[in-house]
Structure 1
């Protein structure tokens, strides 16, 4: 009898050690995650309940937004943290940081006509600058683009190639009194200079139509512009939320993220409540399964002010810790009302902007998800102008999905995806109308299932995935070597 009891005790100890050391909380008795099973756990009602919750955080405060450091975003962070921690499946932490918040407003008048302009965040203030308008050549990214008589003038610059911050700095080097950046696609233009810089001059954004009209008028004669910029600055404490599965190989981490903040203008439900809730829905669904590789979820703060949260996180990891992250997936705006299914061009075949080794395989996996269902898709430029930027710069393979922002949908795209030609993917992008009503339910559901598909694949196995490149430093792409990153992956801050 004593021998039998001893054998039983050894058996129980062995099982217990297996549970604690490998898969906590009885995970060995859960099924191994598969692509079909994880996708089947994704329910539209759960997704919509999540985005409605984010809307309620915006509605509850006078600001009516979820900008980082504000009450709506604080509520968002606390809710995400508590929801994920309550599963018991993850180790969850809030990563505290302090960043400079800026809010700016602009007024422009050209030859007595008021123009609708948006001040760039972090722009220096300006009080009734009255000066002649000159036009920069090309995109204003080099000193040679600025006329010899730029000093004391306000310079008009077309969007493109380099960051808004770089344009403002180049204008400052040319001793301009101010800068106006006009859009290179239809629609208004709002953005950020990415931070304070002594080289910057007061900078505002203008629509393509108004910008082209001004350029034409300058070519015909002298144009006088009056420019006012009001800028507010405040250091704000804020947080990333990081959650890693308690089970799985923690030396082979699959990481994914979405930014949790909005712009000042509105609640940011597509940008980027859609991505935040998409990955949260997958995180909750994953708790039904065991896995081989650990999965780490991240909800980034302060993306809209220059990728501040994700950059802070990556910079907090040494090479050894970051090397454990085998790939990073980014999801920003996956419920655009006039959507297109877009996959980041990891192999560079469409835009000649390649990611680190493994980025191509991520692209191919998402392509397979859509192809297997006969659903059209297209590549989107993989320049690093989103929260994956900091990862790419440290040589981490990256990829993700995007359903479009302010760019206008073409007739050719309508043939592929439906919707309306001549209208932006998201006409409420960075506006107060980015509410729950702005979400395309079909798009957010499909793309959340695509997230589940990829996570199930990589959480189960990295077989066939390229050996992780050595952690180091690299340019996102030589063409964009001066770009620290950009908001939302869709040219808000850059180009």
Structure 2
């Protein structure tokens, strides 16, 4: 049910609207800045600066009643203002713009569940529908509820109890609802807290709540033993319209026809401040943007902090959809950073060449992946290919045929024994045990991957901001072989203009 329109707003002087029309390039007055070099830029990235940014984001969230930074909220407006103010404090190095758009947001309010007279920890799901029931029996759903045949006929008029895993939440409760269930409870498949997540958008599905693995298994065993376990539940939330902003900073140095683009999402889920997801990525690229402002570049460098990623990549999608094909064709490479400091981490690089997951990106995605690999290998650090499925803000760029790469330390996937031997941590546990929870705060950050990943980002920035030598030219978007990713509700020796207005031969 759609609620009243949000009255939250951000006060910004001189708000700039983005459009697809190219503007004249204005270069900073400090044309005597040195050309960016790899080692100095990498050495200028320090853990203390990353942590200062992360602490600031937590403070912004905790200064609001909701204690989060969900898009459209007071906490997210504060986050946007923080990035804007920080970038503008660097003088005239970047053109800083706010791209505004309005979308729907789910504001959670109440969730309660009891069974057999016992009250259980529970959570709602984003875009879950409101519902209340009293003294309604629980019915076990076989296997994982991914096949309609898993759902017994006895679920009609009752509440389906389903284990998480193998298919989407939507598929599970669609199957249960089709058999007449009045609601569903999904319990976790790992010892990682209460099951929760998103249904991807407004829907007409049955109400849904989450349980821990231990509680779900205990209830399932009682039912399997023949006991009638009655349950009562209340899940209430409302959907409202919210205005939100992408923050986009474009260097006034560099060739605007050869753009290096970095992005990270700036919003959290409604459960907490989102300091690993994705304060880590946001702070990583902000720290690099600040360090880069001491140098001139041959390529234009653009940074973006996307809003509404947690709602389905809406901020990045809005940018891509409102950009002209000509402007998108100027982006040589898009780099995405989402969760780069997970506590039970692995060091992941998007599998742009498809060598691990057999799904490659547009030409250049593989080259960027290998550049990241070389950085870590030079420091005797092992990396793994991370699944390149478009389920973060690089997805819309992939769909537009833009080469993409990025880093990842894991979310709700499970750490393997091989990874445990390399990185330490706990095999069999999720990479971030506090993923999408109130405990994703400043203390949830792993310092080593946070710093080394930020340094890796600066290495790739220094390399391509100086020269695109060895990087393939962009293909027309209609000639790429990249298949569209669906989310579950996701040349050389060419004369170029010098940064200070002088034409010289550059390697692109």
TM-score normalized by structure 1? 0.84
Q: CA deviation at 1:408?
A: 4.7
1:182 aligns with 2:184: no
Partner residue, 2:55: 52
Deviations 1:388-429 (A, max 9, x none): 222222232222112223445444323211334455433333
CA contact (8 A) 1:240 1:309 kept: yes
CA contact (8 A) 1:393 1:474 kept: no
Partner residue, 2:18: none
CA contact (8 A) 2:132 2:232 kept: no
Q: Distance in 2 between matches of 1:227 and 1:220?
A: 23
Q: Of the candidates 304, 307, 310, which is equivalent to residue 301 of structure 1?
A: 307
Q: Of the candidates 146, 152, 169, which is equivalent to residue 164 of structure 1?
A: 169
Moved more, 275-284 or 354-363: 354-363
Partner residue, 2:28: 25
Distance 1:392 1:228, change over 3 A: same
Q: Distance in 1 between matches of 2:301 and 2:145?
A: 41
Partner residue, 2:72: 69
Within 5 A, what are the aligned runs for 1:204-215? 204-215=209-220
Q: Of the candidates 372, 396, 419, which is equivalent to residue 378 of structure 2?
A: 372
Q: CA deviation at 1:338?
A: 3.0
Q: Of the candidates 242, 250, 257, which is equivalent to residue 248 of structure 2?
A: 242
Deviations 1:365-384 (A, max 9, x none): 11111001111222222222
Q: CA deviation at 1:214?
A: 4.7
CA contact (8 A) 1:106 1:228 kept: yes
Distance 1:22 1:404, change over 3 A: same
Deviations 1:61-95 (A, max 9, x none): 22222222222221110111121123211111111
Deviations 1:446-474 (A, max 9, x none): 11101111111222222322333433599
Q: Distance in 1 between matches of 2:283 and 2:405?
A: 18
Q: Distance in 2 between matches of 1:303 and 1:407?
A: 19
1:96 aligns with 2:110: no
Partner residue, 1:493: none
CA contact (8 A) 2:141 2:160 kept: yes
Q: Distance in 1 between matches of 2:372 and 2:288?
A: 16
Q: Distance in 2 between matches of 1:139 and 1:358?
A: 40
Q: CA deviation at 1:24?
A: 1.3
Q: Distance in 2 between matches of 1:399 and 1:466?
A: 14
Q: Distance in 1 between matches of 2:121 and 2:163?
A: 16
Q: Distance in 1 between matches of 2:298 and 2:148?
A: 53
Secondary structure of 1:434's counterpart equals: coil
Deviations 1:346-368 (A, max 9, x none): 22222233333322222211111
Query: Which sections of structure 1, spanning at least 5 residues, go unmatched?
Result: 1-19, 486-495
CA contact (8 A) 1:51 1:274 kept: yes
Moved more, 38-47 or 423-432: 423-432
Query: Which sections of structure 2, spanning at least 5 residues, go unmatched?
Result: 1-22, 491-508
Q: Distance in 2 between matches of 1:279 and 1:47?
A: 9
Deviations 1:272-301 (A, max 9, x none): 111111100111111122222211111011
Deviations 1:318-366 (A, max 9, x none): 3332222222211112122332211122222222333333222222111
1:337 aligns with 2:340: no
Q: Distance in 1 between matches of 2:216 and 2:469?
A: 51
TM-score normalized by structure 2? 0.82
Secondary structure of 1:352's counterpart equals: coil
Q: Distance in 2 between matches of 1:470 and 1:146?
A: 48
Q: CA deviation at 1:96?
A: 0.9
Q: Of the candidates 85, 88, 106, which is equivalent to residue 88 of structure 2?
A: 85
Partner residue, 2:159: 154
Partner residue, 1:266: 272
CA contact (8 A) 2:276 2:340 kept: yes
Partner residue, 1:436: 442
Q: Distance in 2 between matches of 1:96 and 1:334?
A: 27
Q: Of the candidates 320, 325, 328, which is equivalent to residue 326 of structure 2?
A: 320
Q: CA deviation at 1:52?
A: 2.0
Partner residue, 1:203: 208
Partner residue, 1:468: 474
Distance 1:396 1:225, change over 3 A: farther
Partner residue, 1:458: 464
Distance 1:35 1:167, change over 3 A: farther
Q: CA deviation at 1:169?
A: 4.1
1:109 aligns with 2:131: no
CA contact (8 A) 1:32 1:291 kept: yes
